[in-house]
Structure formats: C-alpha cells, structure tokens
Amino acid sequence: MTGPRYTPLVASLPSTVPFVGPETQERSRGRPFAARLGANESIFGPSPKAIEAMQAAAAEVWKYGDAQNHDLRQALAAHHGIGPGNIIVGEGIDGLLGYLTRLVVAEGDTVVTSNGAYPTFNYHVAGFGGVLHKVPYRGDHEDPEALIAKAVEVQPKLIYISNPDNPMGSHHPAETILKMIAAVPEGSLLILDEAYIDLAPEGTAPEIAPDDPRVIRMRTFSKGYGMAGARVGYAIAAPALITAFDKIRNHFGMCRTSQIGALAALRDQPWLEEVKARVAHARARLAEIAAANDLTALPSATNFVAIDCGADGDFARRVLAELTARDIFVRMPFVAPQDRCIRVSCGPDADLDAFAAALPEALEAARR
C-alpha cells in the first residue's frame, strides 16, 4: 500500500486542533465578525515603534532570522537582570511548550495539569505519548496544592500551571507560586506559564532564581505587547535546560521581522503602560456591560474577562452561539463548572459597544 506509514502513536491520535480560529468560523459563516473578542489578542495593537521597525525590516525579509536570537536574548536578559544563558526564544509559548514536551516526555510518561486549563499544552503532551493527570479547579482558580498533591502521587515529568490563568482570568499571588515551587517533587519540572503577567497586578510575579532547576517560566509578546501574529515567546530557566532546547528546536523557526519587532516593542515600555491602562478601562467596561444584563464579571488579571452567564454550560453555549450569529466572536471555557461563563477579550470602545448591543438579544434568544 502506498502512502506514509504513521507511527502507532500518531495513528491513534484524533485529527483535531485545540482551537477553531475566527478565520475558520468566518469562512464557514460566509461573512466576517463585527467584533473579534475571542482570541485574547491585544486589539490595541503593538507599539508604533515596533510597527515602524518591522516595516523597515520588510525589505530584508529575504534573510533568515538569527538562529541564536542574539540581540533579543541580550535585550531580554538586560530587561530581567539575568544572563542570556537563562533565556530561550521560540515561536510563541505554544512552540516552546511543544519543544519542552518533546525534550522530556516519552510515551507513557506522566504529566499533571488542571482540568480545563490551556488545551494546547495537552495537545503537545498527547502528541508525544504522555499521560495526562488532571485536577479540578478550586473555585475559579487553578489549585496549586491539588497539582502538587497529584504530582507527589504520580511523579510526573511536567507540572503545568498558568498564572494569571486562562480561561478564567484569575491569578495567585507570588507567595503561593513560590510555595508551589518549593514543593515540586524530585525529578519533576514546573511549567509556570506567565503569558498574561504583563497585565497582572503587582505582587503576581514571584522572584525566582533563574538557575532554579525546578521551574521554567514562559512569557510572550502576544498579549501585552500586542504581537500575537509575530509568534515571539521566550522562556527563563536554568542554563542546562536552555541549552538542551538546541538539540531539538527549529533553529530558523523565528522570523527575522518578528525578532526585530519584538526588540523594538521591548524597548518601548511606555507603550506597554498605555496598553495596560486601556486594558483596565476595558475590563471595567465589560464588568458594567455584564452587570447591566444581570450577569457577573469575574475579577481578571488578564486582557479578557470571564462573564458568568448564571446557569450551566449548555446555556452559556447557547449564548455564545447567539453572539456568533450576531457577528460577535467570543469563546468560553471547555470544562464544567467554568463553562457557565463566556470569555470576552478586552478591546476598544467600538468593539465593546457592538458586544453590549448584541448581548441582551443573545441572552433573550438563549433563554427561549
């Protein structure tokens, strides 16, 4: 028989993706969304200086990116007050999660995460044959104590937690995360996904020695810096782990234009402060919209707000479908009881106006 001979593992996997993107939905609907409020992108966009730098770099797009990401790593090291040997740059946190999973997870190895947490991580674990052990959220927060208890029980290669959390927008203070790191079992590695840390309150980011072998922390230019389409993420970890990425990473995976744009964005911290102010305004506005419809907006440390629709997941799914029918793109958590919510990205007032106009109609239709 002709054709590829897949590995037994690959043959056993479903043909699926963690998220159905808005473009896919628009093609199936036959029309664009009026407000794109579902992907946790920064609709406020990147620094104008980053845009200018990328425009200038476009003429040299014929060049590969620097395989060592030297300039960006040096700048990130200076920004964080650590050595460049503690930093790896990759194609967003998603890419880095894939590389890390490939580095340490073989078929049958155990991994611990929360039920309902970021599904792309689970996708990578499944793709390399890992066995996921999930613990429930506690309230609307990931549960560090339960994660560690499960880790002690199953001795995983990896333990995953995001702080702040996606999809609920909740967060733990730095002290809680430090206690979790101190309790990581021997032989396990904690992934601290800090995709939204630039938007979180002071006291959320813990002080962690960059050489601590128990933890790898991951950050991105996709959220606060507004460069989701550029795919630039980075991780901070002990040098031995950082060096190990060179064994398996795509050395020319980083676009040169993206590298240059991220460097310019990092240098424009005033723009990040402006975005944080706009996000805070949008979070308050979303809370007002929720309250006006007798719904509850959960406290958020991110650039999105989870809105409790006041019933179960089936009702929230109907609300989401009705919003989609009214050209508003939002998403929702996948797992009960968090799936009682819809999740709405922060955006400019015009987009929030469109959401505010569609929400009462969507709720009314969902209740029929």
Distance of CA 297 to the CA centre of its chain: 20
CA angle at 137 for the pair 134 and 140, rounded to the nearest 5°:
155
Q: Which of 231, 271, 220 is nearest to 47 (CA)?
A: 271
**Domains 8-45+270-367 and 61-267 fall in the same CATH topology:** no
Could you report the per-residue pLDDT of 192-244, keeping only the tens digit for each? Answer: 999 999 999 999 999 999 999 999 999 999 999 999 999 999 999 999 999 99
Enter the DSSP assignment of 195: T
Looking at residue 111, its pLDDT comes to 98
Question: Long-range contacts: 173-177, Cβ < 8 Å, 24+?
Answer: 173/203, 173/204, 174/203, 174/204, 174/205, 174/206, 174/207, 175/206, 176/144, 177/144, 177/206
Q: Enumerate the H helices of the chain as residue ranges.
A: 8-12, 22-29, 48-57, 70-80, 92-104, 119-127, 144-154, 174-182, 239-244, 256-267, 269-292, 313-325, 349-367
Domain parsing of the chain, residue ranges: 8-45+270-367, 61-267
CATH no. of 61-267: 3.40.640.10
Topology classification of domain 8-45+270-367: Aspartate Aminotransferase, domain 1 (3.90.1150)
Could you report the per-residue pLDDT of 6-45, keeping only the tens digit for each? Answer: 999 999 998 887 888 999 999 999 999 999 999 999 999 9
On whether the pTM is more than 0.85, the answer is yes
Residue 1 has pLDDT above 80, yes or no: no
Can you say whether the dihedral through the CA atoms of 124, 126, 132, 136 is positive or negative?
positive
Looking at residue 20, its pLDDT comes to 87
Neighbours of 268 (CB within 10 A): 17
Could you report the per-residue pLDDT of 245-284, keeping only the tens digit for each? Answer: 999 999 999 999 999 999 999 999 999 999 999 999 999 9
What proportion of the chain, given as a percentage, has pLDDT over 70? 100
Is 69 in contact with 89 (CB distance < 8 Å)? yes
Written as six digits, the tokens of 325 are 């029918």
Q: Round to whole Å and give the CA distance between 219 and 232.
A: 9
Looking at residue 219, its pLDDT comes to 98
Looking at residue 116, its pLDDT comes to 96
